[in-house]
Structures are given as structure tokens and as C-alpha cells.
């Protein structure tokens, strides 16, 4: 189920990023610290009263050119209007109402999206009176907050959560495999969708997707139901959007959220660039099954080593996704496109695979016997037992005597042993350690 989206908008230096960090709290620390994952603080996950939501910090979006600051502010507001269910409009109590605030207010007011007006830097009770002039912006009661001191954040989130859409917004059953195509502009995502749907045996449904702005194509092949979520269809026209790398990342995030399997489409003719790592990194962090699809392979000059060398480049650039298979295709000639859906089925199955506890512990015991856990100051890590606690992605908890002694390298060793025994091709797996209590 897609999370509601909350965007934080405002002119520079009003404290958007501070509030963003307050909202997401320690959530980023939960994400694995794996080498090669590109960090990007534009997007995070927050929680209020057991309801998770996505947060966009539009302050990370910049544009170049004349009158850069106001142009950036306008673009940020437009992106928030496009993407968000609810918008937090942030202003500065110390500065008062500025002309830039008024311009953003006009954009937001015309959008008819729910807006919560948050007045930042209300650091003490004496400053509370300074919020009243912000009534002039036309968004009802301003909420005084302090990013520096954490004051009023709960009131602000409560006001925002009141506008979140209903929980029951997912329109597809568990038996449907939801596939998202992600990648930077011009890698051929739309052509690839057309090539997949162009197969004679594919039955395309005429059911319209009910999600607001994704282009969903439900179809069926060999009694398996799919939905393709096409991010290419979600891209806005105009230079300002196409030149804003983080904008395409933001659109990809919405598709990733809803997908079971993510196809990371790479332009075989142009090779790998940094933005590919940004986008693929989000799929990994979201715990989705993934396949690298190298498109336009028909126009690449090649010999018998080219494919192997390109695969090695992918492995070198995407160290954090060595589990994802690679497929070389041409959407234009449909070369190898017929192999894509069987591969989707395979990684979707691995993504939902469960391992019986006793079988898992046999593998872990063998791994520990072959390569004992590390010692520290004469003390050795002892693994009592392991169990799988969830799927999508497969997640394992190791009960140990000293969780702090579980070194990253040993965790990776255990992950490799689990993969060697059970497969899990195409899916990330999560490993957590917990202290075994005396009564367990």
C-alpha cells in the first residue's frame, strides 16, 4: 500500500531540512550501511500514531539560471503540489511575512491541496505572538514550531495527518505482481513497456489504474496477473523538470513504493552514470526485488567479451545489489524481452520465500562451525538461533549473547551462506541481531 506523501515547502533558510530530519528521526539509521549506496536526504519515512508516511524535503531541489533563488522556490512548490497529499508550508517567525512567502502562498492556494502553515523559530513563549501576522497568508491557524528545540512538531504532524488519504487505497490483490520500471529519462522505459505488452500472448486489461498519477497497465500472461507501473508516463514536460535530477528520483520513489519487483533500466549505449546509482539505491533501501535491464543492447558495438565486461561494471558500480540479475535487451527489436517476465516471476517468488526455522539453523550452525564468530577482549559472539520474521524482503533475526559484537563483515558472511543455501536471487535480505533474554 502506498504511503501518504507529505512535502515541506518554503523559501531558503526557514529550516526545512531541520524539520525534515526531526520528522524522520532515526529512521535513516535503520537503513543498512552498505558500501556503494548513494545517500540522498531528499526523501525519508516518518511515522505519526502508527501511520507511516513519506516525507519530501523540497529544499534539496535546485535550479540554475537567473533569479535562481526565487526560481528554485517556485519549482519546489510546483513539485510539492504535483507529488504531495499534504503540504507543510514553512515560514520564519523572525523574518515575518516576506514577498517570497506570499508568492509561494499564491501557488499553494491555487493548488487546492491541503496546506498546514508552520511558523518555525518560535523558540520560546515570548515569540508566540509573532505567528499572528501569518494569518494574512490565508491558510487558517498558523502552528508555531521550533526545529531547533523540537517544539510543536507533534501539533504540526497531527494537523497534517488529518488530511492523509484513506488507508484502503491499494486496488490490486496479493496474487498480482506489481512491476515498476525506473531509470533516468531517455533509457527507453516506455519502449520497453510497449515491447513487453506487444507479445501475442499478453492480455492487456482495460481496467484503469485508480492511483492518482501513475500510469498502471494491468495485464495477464500464462495465468499470472501483473501490473506495470510506468514512471516514464509520470514525467512532466518542460526543461526545468527534465534538468532536475532529483525530480526524476522523486517520481521513481512513488513507483518503487508500490512495486513488488523493480526493473532498473540502464542505457546500454551510454553506460552507467551517478543518477542510475541514486535511483537503484532507493529500490534497494525500500527492500524491493530488482533486475538490472540493460536496454538498447542492439546498438552497442560488441564482441564476445562486451556483455561480461558490462556486467562487471554493473557489479562494481552497484556493490550493494550483487543479488540482482542482469538482462540485456532491445526494446526496439524485442531481443530477449521474452525472458523478462519469467525472470520477474522468479525474483518475485524469491522475494516472498520463507525458510523453516530448523533448516535455517542447520545452515547457520554449519556456517559458524566452518568460520567461528569473532572475539573481542577474550569474549566470543555466540549465535543461539536464527529465525525468519517476514518476507518482502526476507528478514531474519539472529538471537545472540552480545549484539554489538556482530561485525558487518561477519553479517555479510552469514548473508552469503544463507543465499548459497536458499538462493534469494533478485531480492535483498535483511539481517538483524537481538540479545537472547534468559527466558527465551
- 61 annotated to bind ligand: yes
123 marked as binding residue:
yes
- The total number of residues written for the chain in this structure: 440
Query: Is residue 154 a known part of a binding site?
Result: no
Instruction: Count CB-CB contacts under 10 A for residue 20.
Output: 25
**205 labelled as ligand-binding?**
no
| 232 known ligand binder | yes
Q: Is 16 annotated as a binding residue?
A: yes
Phi, psi for 139 (deg, rounded to 5): -115, 30
Residue 15 marked ligand-binding: yes
Q: Is 173 annotated as a binding-site member? A: no
122 marked as binding residue: yes
The answer to whether 298 is annotated as binding is yes
41 annotated binding-site participant: no
**57 belongs to an annotated ligand binding site:** yes
Q: Is there a binding annotation on residue 194? A: no
Rounded distance between C-alpha atoms, residue 220 and residue 222, angstroms: 7
Inter-CA distances, 439 with 358, 435, 436, Å: 20, 11, 8
Cα–Cα distance, 384 to 398 (Å, whole number) = 8
Cell numbers describing residue 289? 526485488
- Residue 318 main-chain phi, psi, to 5 deg: -115, 65
Q: Is 140 part of any known ligand binding site? A: no
Q: Is 46 annotated as a binding residue?
A: no
- 186 labelled ligand-binding: yes
Q: Known binder of ligand: residue 60? A: yes
What is the C-alpha separation between 19 and 8, in angstroms, rounded? 8
Task: Determine whether the annotation assigns residue 409 to a binding site.
Answer: no
DSSP letters spanning 209-254:
P-SSS-EEEEEEETTEEEEEEEGGGGPPPSHHHHT-HHHHHHHHHH
Q: Which residues of 98-108 are buried (b: 16+ CB within 10 A; e: fewer)?
A: eebbeebbebb
Q: At what angle do helices 68-83 and 245-258 cross, to 10 degrees?
A: 10
169 is known to lie in a ligand binding site: no
The answer to whether 243 is a known ligand-binding residue is no
Does 54 show up as a binding residue in the annotation?
Answer: no
**Cell 525472470 belongs to which residue?**
343
How do strand 43-48 and strand 115-120 relate by DSSP bridges?
unpaired
10 known ligand binder: yes
185 a known binding residue?
yes
d(CA 194, CA 204): 11
> Is 265:295 a contact under the CB 8 Å cutoff?
yes
Q: Is 178 annotated as a binding residue?
A: no
In the annotated binding site, the residues are 10-17, 57-61, 120-123, 183-190, 230-234, 295-298
Residue ranges of the binding site for GTP? 10-17, 57-61, 120-123, 183-190, 230-234, 295-298
Amino acid at each position: 500500500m502506498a504511503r501518504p506523501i507529505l512535502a515541506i515547502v518554503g523559501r531558503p533558510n526557514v529550516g526545512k531540512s531541520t524539520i525534515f530530519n526531526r520528522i524522520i528521526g532515526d529512521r535513516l539509521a535503520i537503513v543498512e550501511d552498505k558500501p556503494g549506496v548513494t545517500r540522498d536526504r531528499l526523501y525519508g519515512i516518518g511515522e505519526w500514531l502508527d501511520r507511516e508516511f513519506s516525507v519530501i524535503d523540497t529544499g534539496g531541489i535546485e535550479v540554475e539560471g537567473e533569479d535562481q533563488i526565487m526560481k528554485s522556490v517556485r519549482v519546489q512548490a510546483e513539485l510539492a503540489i504535483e507529488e504531495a497529499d499534504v503540504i507543510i508550508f514553512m515560514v520564519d517567525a523572525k523574518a515575518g511575512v516576506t514577498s517570497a512567502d506570499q508568492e509561494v502562498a499564491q501557488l499553494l492556494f491555487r493548488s487546492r491541496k491541503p496546506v498546514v502553515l508552520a511558523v518555525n523559530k518560535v523558540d520560546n513563549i515570548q515569540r508566540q505572538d509573532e505567528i499572528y501576522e501569518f494569518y494574512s497568508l490565508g491558510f487558517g491557524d498558523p502552528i508555531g514550531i521550533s526545529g531547533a528545540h523540537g517544539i510543536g512538531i507533534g501539533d504540526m504532524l497531527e494537523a497534517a495527518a488529518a488530511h492523509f488519504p484513506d488507508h484502503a487505497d491499494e486496488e490490486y490483490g496479493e496474487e498480482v505482481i506489481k512491476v515498476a520500471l525506473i531509470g533516468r529519462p531517455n533509457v527507453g522505459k516506455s519502449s520497453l513497456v510497449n515491447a513487453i505488452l506487444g507479445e501475442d500472448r499478453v492480455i492487456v486489461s482495460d481496467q484503469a489504474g485508480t492511483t492518482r498519477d501513475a500510469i498502471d497497465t494491468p495485464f495477464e500472461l500464462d495465468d499470472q496477473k501483473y501490473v506495470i507501473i510506468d514512471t516514464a508516463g509520470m514525467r512532466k514536460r518542460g526543461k526545468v523538470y527534465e534538468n532536475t535530477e532529483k525530480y526524476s528520483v522523486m517520481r521513481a520513489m512513488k513507483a518503487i513504493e508500490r512495486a513488488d519487483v523493480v526493473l532498473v533500466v540502464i542505457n546500454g549505449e551510454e553506460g552507467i552514470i551517478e543518477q542510475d546509482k541514486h535511483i537503484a539505491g532507493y529500490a534497494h533501501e525500500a527492500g524491493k526485488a530488482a533486475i538490472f535491464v540493460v536496454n538498447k543492447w542492439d546498438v552497442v558495438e560488441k564482441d564476445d567479451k562486451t556483455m561480461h565486461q558490462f556486467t562487471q561494471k554493473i557489479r562494481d558500480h552497484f556493490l550493494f545489489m550483487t543479488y540482482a540479475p542482469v538482462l540485456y535487451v532491445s526494446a526496439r527489436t524485442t531481443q530477449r524481452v521474452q525472458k523478462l517476465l519469467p525472470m520477474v516471476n522468479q525474483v518475485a517468488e524469491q522475494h516472498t520465500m520463507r525458510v523453516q526455522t530448523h533448516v535455517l539453523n542447520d545452515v547457520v550452525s554449519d556456517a559458524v562451525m566452518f568460520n567461528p564468530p569473532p572475539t573481542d577482549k577474550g569474549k566470543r559472539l555466540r549465535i543461539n538461533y536464527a529465525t525468519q520474521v517476514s518476507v518482502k524482503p526476507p528478514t531474519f533475526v539472529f538471537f545472540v549473547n552480545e549484539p554489538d559484537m556482530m561485525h558487518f563483515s561477519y553479517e555479510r558472511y552469514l548473508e552469503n551462506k544463507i543465499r548459497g543455501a536458499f538462493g534469494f536471487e533478485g531480492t535483498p535480505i535483511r539481517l538483524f541481531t537481538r540479545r537472547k533474554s534468559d527466558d527465551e
